[in-house]
Structure 1
Amino acid sequence: MQSGSPNLQETGSYEIEGLVSSIILQKQNQQGDRIFISDWNGKIHILRSVEPGSKLKPLVINQELTKCPILSMDINRDERVLNNQLIIGTAEGQIAIYHVELEKFQEIGQDKEKRPIAKVISIEKKPLIFSFSWEKVMIVWDSSSREDQYVHALKANFIAAEYVHPYIAILFGNNEIAFIDVEN
């Protein structure tokens, strides 16, 4: 090993049948870590370590949530739910919440045009979910009312988006970056 190289250790492996579409790592302090993996078959896989740094073990295997591909996931950052929920966006424009401990799937709504949801973002302190489509559309959903609250046409093709409180940064196909202040 070269000097200064990171010490990488494999903490387990898990084989997924089909194509993986999204992966999220959730750090949980004393409770260990969780990895959420979604696939093109509409299934979710959850791996968990018993304590930080220990080997990963399957917690939920092949939990089929929907009949269409899951394209995007995010941890629900709404403080009322204690990070035990996933926000899910599908290839048919569906937004849903998956309650991890209850293993329960709850639909929030569906884009009327059924545009594929390439990215979902949950923000802190508000029950708002932002979804982005490759078809130049951003929809803001209110998870408490289960309706799309605001549909906004984007000026260019969506490439990527990330949330760092209080901003959502959006990268467009024309190399432009836009910022949304979610506090205002």
Structure 2
Amino acid sequence: MFMSLVEIINEFSKYKNDGIHYKNLCEELLKYFKVQKRCVREEVTSQGQKFKTYEWNNIVNALYTTFESKKIKRLCYLEKDNDENKKKDVLNIHEEFRNFCIEKKARLRNISDMNFEQCNDYMSWITEKKRGLQAIDPNYENIREYKEYFDIHHNCNYPWLVSNTPDVTCSQITRSRGKT
């Protein structure tokens, strides 16, 4: 049971180029947990024994120890987790931020071909996306608190987010002619 759990975590951890997809990872782990609980319950009852919650809780505690060792306990939740709502909120914010970073990376690939207007549009897009993140996470409080999970790219992480340092500088070439 624990080996499969670790395999799921390791599989998701392989894909770090655009940050780990924590929301999908946590959802996958929760599904795995529920299937395992159902299997254990069926196995115990098929043997004519009673499924004992306190014994299952020992297994849950061991799972949380695995979560802790893999550094995902702050984000991923199982049933009856007191912080489930907070974790879901953080995972939703992370999903938005990660998607933003992936799109930002794609847009930055074309930066050398941008004219002044396109560069300005890019800068406006960044500002708009940052406002959207502020709307779901005022003052980036959750991103700050969980910043180790929001380190998507070198130029898309918490320090970059709060620095307000632009990725690019837009400049326009002007040509003037002298009077003849």
The structure that has the greater radius of gyration is 2
Q: Which has the higher helix share?
A: 2
Name the TM-score, length of structure 1 as normaliser.
Answer: 0.22
Q: Which has the higher strand share?
A: 1
Higher relative contact order (CA 8 A, sep 6+): 2
